[in-house]
Amino acid sequence: MSGGVDSAVAAARAVAAGHDVTGVHLALARNPQTYRTGARGCCTLEDSRDARRAADVIGIPFYVWDMAERFHSDVVDDFVAEYAAGRTPNPCLRCNEKIKFAAVLDRAVALGFDAVVTGHHARLGPDGLLRRSVDHAKDQSYVLAVLTRAQLDRSIFPLGDATKAEVREEAARRGLAVADKPDSHDICFIADGDTRGFLAGRLGEAPGDVVDASTGAVVGSHTGAYQYTVGQRRGLHLDRPAPDGRPRYVLSITPRTNTVTVGPAEALEVSQVRAARPVWTGGERPTAPIECEVQLRAHGDVVPATVTLDGDTLHAELRRPVRGVAAGQAIVAYRSDPAGDVVLGSATITG
């Protein structure tokens, strides 16, 4: 129970479904003062109090589990290391993979619980298939697609058949004070939302060149290549405009030479994506290319593609070019289905 409306209603629905439910809030900060303040829906002392009050209203036991060290090593350190390597991580996805459905699930099973219930907006039906939420605007299947079959088998997502508005209305009917609490959107461990400053404080300054892709000319400088991500346009601080006067975008980041390469928007287009460490839960792992749809970033557009699995690598041939595909993000494959788009599998983009 994060302290937000979704996890509170998920807990209430689990009780109503006849489950013996215990509420758990995760303490994730080594020093809570370094994380966000205020009731934001996740990861603050105020959120812990909101979660406890919701548990009291629902009538379930409530505990706080200290996961700070595991969270720091598996999510925060990973976040910094990925940026240092020129990739763009998704910390929410990593938290699901390593904390909520690994560390928490492992402890829960050891204590005799059967499953972890969360307020994620996704559906997990009797067939065991992970599907998009009915509320596509709030769908979180993308950040859950990294879960293995064993993890999904011990997961319950009670909110997948409801829109966010319906969840808030239900919370109000149940007398939950978090009914109107704003959603959490920021990275919980970056208190002021300044990702660039957060990374600079941990990686230090590392001056380097910004290079034009078409001419090879140095057109600017930076104080750390980790401050940039593929597709970025703002904050480049270039010394001279492009000859055609058009905006430049970050095309690639090369940590080995500490170089950021920029160019026109059309140079961002890719038609092929390669990814590593595929997880396949939407049926038997395919032995031949399959036609499906893929999503390349959280809340990104869905693109028709041909996907091939080759050992520990996933290849996707996109039916139309996509801009701003960043290494470190996930590619998630979906199959259209009348009962809701089914998650077939995911992998981490490498190029």
Sign of the torsion angle spanned by Cα atoms 90, 96, 102, 103: positive
3 state SS for 26-91: EECCCCHHHCCCCCCCCCCHHHHHHHHHHHHHHCCCEEEEECHHHHHHHHHHHHHHHHHCCCCCCH
Q: Spot the catalytic one: 42, 43, 188, 292.
A: 188
CA distance 273 to 316: 5
Helix/strand/coil percent split, the chain, to 5: 30, 25, 45
Token pair belonging to 342: 């089914």
Catalytic residue list contains 42: no
Q: Out of 42, 43, 92, 95, which one is annotated catalytic?
A: 95
Which residues, listed in sequence order, are joined to residue 333 by a DSSP beta bridge?
294, 345
Identify the sign of the CA torsion 52, 92, 295, 251: positive
Q: Which of 32, 206, 10, 220 is nearest to 117 (CA)?
A: 10
| Burial profile 56-79: b = 16 or more Cβ within 10 angstroms, e = fewer | ebbebebeeeebbebbeebbbebb
Catalytic status, residue 43: no
On whether 112 is known to bind a ligand per the annotation, the reply is: no
Contact between 344 and 279 (Cβ < 8 Å) = no
CA–CA separation, 24 vs 29, rounded Å? 16
Q: Was 119 annotated as part of a binding site?
A: yes
Q: 10 Å Cβ neighbour count for 114?
A: 11
The number of beta carbons lying within 10 Å of the beta carbon of residue 215 is 11
In one-letter notation, the amino acid at residue 121 is H
Which residues are part of the catalytic machinery? 95, 188
Residues annotated in a binding site for ATP:
26, 119
Residues annotated in a binding site:
26, 119
